[in-house]
Amino acid sequence: DPIAGNHSARNKGAEIAKGKYLFFSDAHMAYKPGFFKNILQAVDESKGLVHGGIAWMGAYPSYTNKGNPHGTGFQYSIKLGEEIKGTWANYAVDTEKWFYIPALGHCSVAVRRDQFMKFGGYPKVHRTYGGGEFYINMKWWMFGSSVAVHPKAVGYHLSSGRGYSYNHDDYIENVLGMSYALGMDDWRERAYINWMRKGRKEVLDKIMARNEVEYADDRKFVAKRRKMTFNELIVALPWDKANDRRLGKHYSALTIFHPSWLELLYEAPQYVQDVYKNSKYQKELEVFIEEKLWNYAYKKDNYSKVDNKYKRKK
């Protein structure tokens, strides 16, 4: 299947599996004794999706710090407003006990099989690389479950070249598709406009149209089963509240590129600005960001709003 991707392979493996738990692992991961005891304990206690921390072996030395020699990542920071993605963060809420997180890479993740099947697993369509991890993590939260990581269950990611090739169009298609499935129409359109700044509007339009066919079933399923929308989720930050209840502390990150991104939009070709201006979503998204997410706006203090446009302060 030319559009199956690795997440479709994981869905198929879950169908075939017979045990109580599912564990998904990249082939280039290594685990110490005790890893599975810790991660499955967290699955039982959290009743959700649980990641192992990810230690990079030989890669990304800039992520190392005192007490974290392998640059172990414990969660993703959510970044919105330019693209839709999670980015590496070594924020540890606790160094001994498992804790809730918004998301993390799926090179090692465990979940009960019955819950995975009930929640519909990974997206049904996935082109080679990217996008599916954010989809399933956000879906677990939107469905009223949770995502966690155990700091004592660390998987060692062996640094090596990819055993396959992919192009950036595949990544873009996955991101726009999974965000369509999650009902993130406003953020999806913003990512589409952002990529349009670099040209190729016709290619992006075809991708957007293809998404609406290929991800239609996933979108209907999510809309029917979700307990909250994505925008309700990022306002509520349930991972922080759950950590406060359980551990008395929290530590996560959300970054919204808004005034800094609008500055780029003002310099974009006119046809890109026209798409933004004529959108049925973007003005409402601006209001939503300013009223609900302004604390997370990137470099907001560097800008002021004049004549309804953000300008960099002198």
Q: Which residue has the tokens 């109580």?
A: 20
Give the pair of three-digit tokens for residue 296. Answer: 């997370």
Looking at residue 87, what is its pLDDT? Answer: 86
Q: What is the mean pLDDT of the chain?
A: 90
- Which segments of the chain does DSSP mark as H helices, in order? 5-16, 35-46, 113-119, 132-142, 168-181, 185-196, 201-214, 216-225, 230-236, 238-247, 259-266, 270-277, 282-292
Query: What tokens does 168 get?
Result: 């950036």
For residue 61 the two structure tokens come to: 């030395």
pTM over 0.85: yes
pLDDT tens column, 113-145: 999 999 999 988 877 777 778 899 999 999 999
Strand partners, 49: 147
Provide CB contacts within 8 A for 250, sequence distance 6+: 93, 239, 240, 241, 243, 244
Q: What is the pLDDT of residue 164?
A: 59
Strand 75-80: give its sheet, edge to edge: 84-89, 75-80, 254-256
* pLDDT at 308 (0 to 100): 83
pLDDT digits (tens, 9 = 90+) for 179-196: 999 999 999 999 999 999
DSSP 296: G
Q: At a CB cut-off of 8 Å and minimum separation 6, what does 137 contact? A: 49, 76, 86, 102, 103, 104, 147
Q: What is the domain partition of the chain in residue ranges? A: 5-233+239-247
Confidence label for 63 from pLDDT (cuts 50, 70 and 90): very low
Q: What mean pLDDT is predicted for residues 150-162? A: 80
Q: What is the pLDDT of residues 253-305, one digit of tens each?
A: 999 999 999 999 999 999 999 999 999 999 999 999 999 999 999 999 999 98
pLDDT tens-digit series, residues 207-244: 999 999 999 999 999 999 999 999 999 999 999 999 99
* Packing angle, helices 185-196 and 282-292, rounded to 10: 110
pLDDT of residue 2: 53
- pLDDT: which is higher, 55 or 154: 154
pLDDT tier, 110 (very low <50, low <70, confident <90, very high otherwise): very high
What CATH number does domain 5-233+239-247 carry, 3.30.1330.30, 3.40.1000.10, 3.40.190.80, 3.90.550.10? 3.90.550.10
Q: Encode pLDDT of 2-12 as tens digits.
A: 556 677 889 99
